Amino acid sequence: MNIANLFDLSGRIALVTGSSAGIGLALARGLGRAGAHVILNGRRSDRVTEAARSLRDEGSSVVGMPFDVTDSNAVKAAIDRIEAEIGPVDILVNNAGMQRRGPLEDYPEETWHELMATNVDSVFYVSQAVARRMIPRGRGKIINICSVQSELGRPSIAPYATTKGAVKMLTKGMAIDWGRHGIQVNGIGPGYFKTELNQALVDDKAFSDWLIGRTPSRRWGELEDLIGAAVFLASDASAFVNGQIIYVDGGVTASL
């Protein structure tokens, strides 16, 4: 057996939601480097177009597909178009998500619903639409982006932790229901990573010092650290891995 072939994604089509920047773009870049034809997604077509151009300049095969993952009708239409015009989705990465911090006793109801729609509803909508195509083919890979907050809480993020706990359990449920159809559904739980959304925390010396001291690996995560887990879960190397969450967190979830 050629071990390298286990991780080769050549000829496969990968849809990555929320992939115009940050973690989603990094995962798309990694899948593209492994040989996949990558479909970038986001709400803003200008940002999706720019991100797709940057990956193509690096040599990846990429196309942009802007649509709102919180709109079930838009999701169904987009998946129909992808399957008709580009080809069957072999790999789905549900990365789209958001964070809204605030004291739980004063947390606005509309913000709660916005967070749930973006972080949980979207995973259900896109996965269901894609799985309906994967099931007759008898194969497929779905990777849901969870979080260390799927397991751990912190002040002011109870609603976010609720959504990521839900994604963890939805991942397990999908694996149970769809595993018999040859579909593997797993999750990646990132720890604290240096992204544009976390820049304020990176620049906060008190927080950054606390985090580094709290993390067994003694550093922030770099986006490149996520690529190996994504390629593994997207490839034949994980053919018998189902319903699992891989925490890429430097050991945070292993330590008190």
- Catalytic residue list: 160
Q: Which of 183, 100, 198 is nearest to 144 (CA)?
A: 183
| Cα 149 from Cα 43, distance rounded (Å) | 25
Count of other CB atoms within 10 angstroms of residue 72 = 16
3-state secondary structure at position 101: coil
179 HSE (CA, 13 A, CB side): 15
Residue 140 Rama label (left phi>0; alpha psi -120 to 50; beta) = left
8 A C-beta contact, residue 12 and residue 40 = no
- Note the Cα 82 to chain centre separation in Å: 19
8 A C-beta contact, residue 57 and residue 35 = no
The contacts of residue 32 (CB under 8 Å, 6+ apart) are: 38, 55, 58, 60, 61, 62
Take residue 136 and report the two structure tokens written for it: 């007759």
Alpha helix (H) ranges present in 138-157? none
